[in-house]
Amino acid sequence: MKTISENKVYGGIQGVYSHMSDACNCEMTFAVYMPPQASNGPVPCLWYLSGLTCTHDNAMTKAGLQAHAAEFGIAIVFPDTSPRGEGVADDEAYDLGQGAGFYVNATESPWKPHFQMETYIASELRDLVTEKFEVSVHHGITGHSMGGHGALTLAMKYPGHYQSLSAFAPIANPSGSDWGRKQLGAYLGGDESIWAAHDASILLKDKGWSGDILIDQGADDQFYDLLKPASLVTVLVDTKTTHEYRLQQGYDHSYYFVSTFARDHVAWHAERLKSRS
């Protein structure tokens, strides 16, 4: 693991790091914020998955999460959204290829050699973070848009990995949306039954979630129809999953929306993770 930068902020350290990934077969960059409380021992860890076109940097610099993480004594990990670099497949469209990994393990050419983001997030990077940083065994996961999709699906697929779950404007039903059908078809092939394992609305019905879920959605989100929030809300109610779904009037899909409600999400995760310590 290489250190790219480390800066003191709110008494803690915001670092950016890189490493060679076996899963993605390329060098990957990620960021970690360690709060000041980590100097006294391991702290809970919150994973923040970003959306389309983003890198580790977007939420790190725009969401204002560090102040809240320092307040509640929780680490935050900001992974990249896809593999990158020379020789890594890409597409001219913003919503496919580099910057649009969708947190799945690709099985189709030309994506398969590098686009193994599910394994990378849930296994490889998790192991690296727990080895190199003072984080406890208690992890939560959240994300925005494509990252909200990733947070919901990974939490349901790996329930032992994450003890708390939230999302900002997640792509809630990708197999029924243009933000999903294109990408799942490209990465996983044309068999839509395989896509179900990467669709939060279907996964919740099939696998469920044993905890509670916090979801914030902007009522004025310009991508509302692509996100399909109603599909997920229906399943949350039908499965009697404890949840708090908040439709925020006047808010769009931007990081202004995310930063406005960031403290609520960090507090949500800290309460649930620290209760297990």
Query: What residues act catalytically?
Result: 145, 221, 253
- The tokens 């860890």 sit on which residue? 45
- The tokens 């980590």 sit on which residue? 38
Residue 108 CA to residue 113 CA, distance in Å, equals: 9
Closest CA to 251 of 141, 153, 173, 144: 144
**Sheet-wide strand order for 213-218:** 2-9, 12-21, 26-34, 75-78, 43-49, 135-143, 164-168, 213-218, 243-248
Q: Are 276 and 177 in contact (CB under 8 A)?
A: no
Closest CA to 82 of 109, 66, 65, 101: 101
Residue 114 CA to residue 256 CA, distance in Å, equals: 32
Angstrom CA distances, 217 to 23, 48, 224, stand at 32, 16, 9
12 phi, psi to nearest 5 deg: -110, -170
Which tokens sit at 253? 């899909």
Amino acid at the residue 165: L
